[in-house]
A and B are shown apart, each in its own frame.
Chain A
Amino acid sequence: MAMKYNWDWSIILCRSPEEEPTAAVEPGTLAPDATSAVGGGAGQFFDTGASCAQPYFDWIVSGVSWTIIVACAAWVITFSLGSIIGIARTVDQPVVRAVATAYVEFFRNIPLLLQMFLWFFVVPELLPEDAGRWVKRELPLPEYWTAIVCLGMYHASRTAEQVRAGIESIPRGQTQAGLAMGLTQFQVYRHVLLPVSYRIIIPPLTSDFMGIFKNSSVALTIGVMELTAQSRQIAEYTFNIFEIFTVATLIYMVVTLIVVTVMRFVEAKVRIPGTIAMGAD
């Protein structure tokens, strides 16, 4: 017979007023009475007066913040680098195209987890000695920077493919019309191809932006204390595994739903009059 589990939300929802924010439990030590929550009745955890609710709530807030910071910073790299690589895959110069294709194939064919390890453990060793030492010793929050660069460059390979698909979906006649009126290749991209193709690829760009949020959890393997890492830590401290991972699940869903809503709004906003776009009601 399956054991009935007593859900205990108090660890994150209850905040005792007398609790000092500085009274956070040192990582590595077991929170007082934490184990008593296992299978225990709801409320018992707090009845003991243990000042445990507060650090966990703060840990979650901190985890969510880092998830958002890492994902958004990575997205800046993804969007700019992905655009450049994607455009480079469509230009006439074969050498430029080959370099861009190599980038895409390299980054999208290696598991993200392995890439995380490569950036964190291998790349600093490959840098010139001074730069490597700086990364290892002086760069503040090295795991966070590494995660941002890794996620950004991994997702750039996917965004590049979307940008390329967007550009290639535009009929050749549009380019010819632009060139025929005397625009340069650069101007054709700037004024004709890109404004239309970015509108077309808003839905896949949205999924990829959500993908960055979700994949940021992989950064826990190199020590980034984002939402999943914090949840796991809280689970280890309190053994309230079900609750904390439920909370984490809901937070990821809320964040990604916000992304979807914002992008739908953007899509409707930039919709070309007379055409149909998703999200435009």
Chain B
Amino acid sequence: MIEIENVSKWYGDFRVLAECSTSVAKGDVVVVCGPSGSGKSTLLKCVNGLEPFQEGTITVDGVSVGDKGTNLPKLRSRIGMVFQNFELFPHMTALQNICLSQMKVLGRGPDEAEERSMKLLERVGITEHAHKHPAQLSGGQQQRVAIARALAMDPIAMMFDEPTSALDPEMISEVLDVMVDLAKEGMTMIVVTHEMGFARKVAHRVVFMDEGRIVEEAQTEAFFTTARHERTQMFLSKILEH
């Protein structure tokens, strides 16, 4: 469904992505990990055209992202994205946040959008906070609203950019629970995360990146037990130590 072929990207002279290639099939759950600055988030943002790339091709459901003629808003509306810092719109209630794109992009009426939003809020377990503003919610609650907001577009795939990195330890599990449920329902997911427990539990494959390159890509069990590259082993030994 998502094909990434030989993608390279530069900021000036600095190469942030170097010939990255991978693919994600329908129903796949892929975890991307790696040290800070390895290009994980950038690769994710290239997939829905938030970041331009200079070389290579990315196709999503048959549509090439890099093509000038591509209707990017339409393509983006089909891929849900969840950000590290939630990025809920502060001047809108949780419910309005979820309704906005349904009404402005999908053209749903206010009643239909609200009904769908309430169902999603129920699914992520925060119906009672529907009419609160983001600043009145905890980090975990905000991130669950953000997930509901992304799901409201009935996406063909979901991308998560370090969804739990900005959360208090106690709130991480409430967000991961929602993501585990999603994965079990067969949602296609690309997740940038350092939550190795989550990766082990639901990921089909793990991709390890360093210095803009995809260093290693393997089935989940194989990744954790028989990583081939020295760099991967070093990374794993450090984060699995504790």
- Where the two chains meet, the residues of A that have a C-beta atom closer than 8 Å to any C-beta of B are 171, 173-174, 176-184, 187, 191-192, 195-196, 199, 272-275
Contact = CB atoms under 8 A, between A and B. Distances in A.
Contacts of A173: 83, 85, 87
Contact of A177 (B72, B83, B132): B83
Interface string B104-119: 1100000000000000
Contacts of B104: 183, 187, 191
Ranked 6 nearest A-B pairs via Cβ: A182-B77, A274-B135, A177-B87, A274-B136, A181-B101, A182-B105
B89 interface: yes
B30 interface: no
B39 interface: no
A251 B104 CA distance: 48
20 contacts: A171-B85, A176-B83, A177-B87, A179-B76, A180-B50, A181-B76, A181-B80, A181-B149, A181-B153, A182-B74, A182-B77, A183-B105, A192-B89, A196-B91, A199-B91, A272-B90, A272-B133, A273-B136, A274-B134, A274-B136
B73 A183 contact: yes
A272 B45 CA distance: 29
B48 interface: yes
Given A176-B83, A181-B149, A199-B91, A273 B76 contact: no
A187 B79 CA distance: 18
Interface of B: 45, 48, 50, 72-74, 76-81, 83, 85, 87-91, 100-101, 104-105, 132-136, 149-150, 153
Contact of A176 (B87, B89, B135): B87
Contacts of B81: 177, 180-181
Chain B, interface SS category: mixed
Nearest to B100: A191
A196 B50 contact: no
B91 A174 contact: no
Given A179-B76, A181-B77, A181-B101, A195 B45 contact: no
Contacts of A187: 104
Contacts of B88: 177
Contacts of B149: 181
Contact of B50 (A176, A183, A191, A192): A176
Contacts of B74: 182
A280 B135 CA distance: 16
A253 B73 CA distance: 50
A173 B161 CA distance: 11
A184 B91 CA distance: 19
A184 B76 CA distance: 10
A178 B72 CA distance: 12
B154 to A, nearest CB: 11
A195 B100 CA distance: 14
A274 to B, nearest CB: 3
Given A181-B105, A273-B136, A176 B45 contact: yes
Contacts of A179: 50, 72-73, 76
B153 A273 contact: no
Contact of B135 (A182, A191, A192, A273): A273
Nearest to A184: B73
Nearest to A178: B89
B69 to A, nearest CB: 16
A180 B48 contact: yes
B142 to A, nearest CB: 11
A172 to B, nearest CB: 10
Contacts of B45: 176
A272 B91 contact: yes
B117 to A, nearest CB: 13
The interface centre, meaning the residue of B48, B90, B100 with most chain A CB atoms within 10 A of its CB, is B90
Contacts of B72: 179
Contacts of A180: 48, 50, 76, 79, 81, 83
B83 to A, nearest CB: 6
Nearest to B48: A180
B76 to A, nearest CB: 5
Contacts of A272: 90-91, 133, 135
Given A199-B91, A272-B133, A272-B135, A182 B100 contact: no
B73 A273 contact: no
Nearest to A270: B91
A196 B91 CA distance: 7
Contact of B76 (A182, A191, A195): A182
Contacts of A196: 89-91
Nearest to A196: B91
